[in-house]
Structure 1
Amino acid sequence: MGGDGGTISSNRTYLRGAGKAEHTADHPSNALKRSKLDDAERARLVMTTCSVSGTVLDLTPAKVNGTVGTVSGVDLVVCPYGKLYKREKVLEALLQRSQGGGGDDDAVEALGLHVRGMKDLHPVRFYVTTSTSSGATNVNKKQYVAACPITGSELGSGNIPCFVIVRSKKGKKVKSADDDEVARNPNVLSERAIKEMGIEGLQAEYGPFEEKDMIRLAPPKTGGVFEEIKKRWEDKMDEERLAKLQKKKDQKRKRTEDKPKKDSAGKDTQQLAKSTNIKHNNGSDKKTKKSAAEEARSSVQSAVAQNSVLSDLFGGGKKSQTEKEKRDALFTRNC
């Protein structure tokens, strides 16, 4: 008995091993516990602070109905890795990165290279409710926390897995009252609510989306969850990069096929072929005209040769006169 909490000699087994490796911080079991605590703390920070600026996220709802409301998706966005950002801070970091540094370099580094632009970010609309925690300094001031709109479970601690529904952008958008209402509804649900509702039920409520496009908020690094999400996003970026390169190649090949070809002398082969055809046609026309003229000339000569009158008129077939014929002709004209 004594200062050991009332342990008696027969129960000294409770104190055996004190100071051994399994009771030290370096033991694997304690390291696992510490990593779980680190994940829990990291998840809480991700769910409550901006990952770029480190400032606390404002979860004050745009419209309040009693003690609940919805945070507008204009101010909060999420990246594929499940980190939350203030839209304004992300825009500032992207602008600084495009200008080659300057300003807050820590914010640019915190943004990460996985965020290429605003197209990689998606709006987040939390369903919030008033907090009942006793740690509030002012009881008259309401403190809002994120919650699941279906189960009502608080999501701000990061202990409950939750996902952001990302609507599909495929197809032609048709604006309607239903689309506007869906765009205002909260799009962060707990894993339990997703299992209870089912994907088809959620699609009827939130519009078309694919299950693989849902983003998990604050994924834990233990268990390979974060690594799997990271690998899936990197594979997607590689596919988009290859598709973009293939599209450029196809466009270049199409321009090459449509462009007029040139021979070794640099002349346009299509224009050369066109001019060759024109010359060939002109030569054929000339040959046709020449053959027709020769045929007409031979016909006239044949007619003149057969008719003596025409022969006298046209000197083509006229024979040379002798001296006697010339005198006789002159005598005849004088008489």
Structure 2
Amino acid sequence: MNMAAMTELPPVDISVETRDAIVVGVRQVMALLQKAELLDKDMTYQKLLVEPESLFYYIQTYRSNRAACDAIVKSADGKPVRDDKTILSCGVNLLQVQRLMVLTCAKRVFGVSGQIRAQPAEEKPAKSGFGFFKKAEKEEPKTMSNEERFLSELAKYLAFDWQLPLLDTYRQHLTYQHLLELGSDLAVIPTEQAIEAAGKLDPADIRKAREMLENDFVTMLNDNPQAVNGVIYWNRDWYKFLRPLLGRKVWQFFARDRQFFTLVANMDKAKIRIFGESLAFIAPENLAEFERLNIDKIAALVGAFHTNFGLEMEGFMSEKRFAKDILRRLVESFMYLKKDQEQIKIYADLTCKAIGPSIDAWRAKLI
């Protein structure tokens, strides 16, 4: 799925005549697919308009069998069409056809009739009784129902077949304020889980997070929506500092509690760089034990843990009991160690190798 392409929504400013031609074409394509036994015989045009899953299936079936529809779907110069951007004989491309059908289906799902007004009412001049213009007056809009208001905003970002199975999810889990804050990102949030998670967030927090994360916002929402609470804790400078250090675990870190963030914020940034991705999982009790050492010894010991235990490190460093049961004694053995930096690194490596069996035995007791 090309997220960049999805942000370019095709226009739906289509004439009535073209819309009529599109309806005829959709029906004819359906008949061809049914004749070729590629589409269920009980599929009807009306089903496409009221059942999002049926419309999604229809579009997917066409895309997988374009050649079967060459007699109907032709380019402006009469050639077969193998992509969605080529202008058709009716004057629009398939992306426009798709968006028109998605919006029509959405109106049926939301129970909205008539035209969706996505733009505010325009001001029009009013004539006085003497034929002169009075001060421009705003045309009073008709009262919109909650469903019409919601769909008018959502419709700005509806265009793709993958959004069809999500129509009910939008309605159940998002509010009008959510739509306003999510804005164009609605066109690049492809999963039900991410939309549900967004619906649990305060719209004001979404606004702050989008301003902070910019292009990272959708990635965060799809990976770990709870990270928004951590993102808005930090200022932009801190975020720019932490983002590259945390790597693939960035959203795991930002999903942690604020008490832990306070602990990290009070650390020297040079020490924060040493811990890096491990800040996403290390228990605060373990972090506090490391903090008893000077920066050179922290670097040596943390480096030795990463070298000797790799990904397994998360399994015990995330346990607060590890601090009291094992790490504390280890840290104390380093506190008064008088060696140069290279010797400290060697000592840390040998020590981590030596305590490996003890850590394995300790972890076995946790299970």
Please indicate the TM-score interval, normalised by the length of the shorter structure.
under 0.3
Q: Which has the larger radius of gyration?
A: 1
TM-score by length of structure 1 reads 0.21
Higher relative contact order (CA 8 A, sep 6+): 1
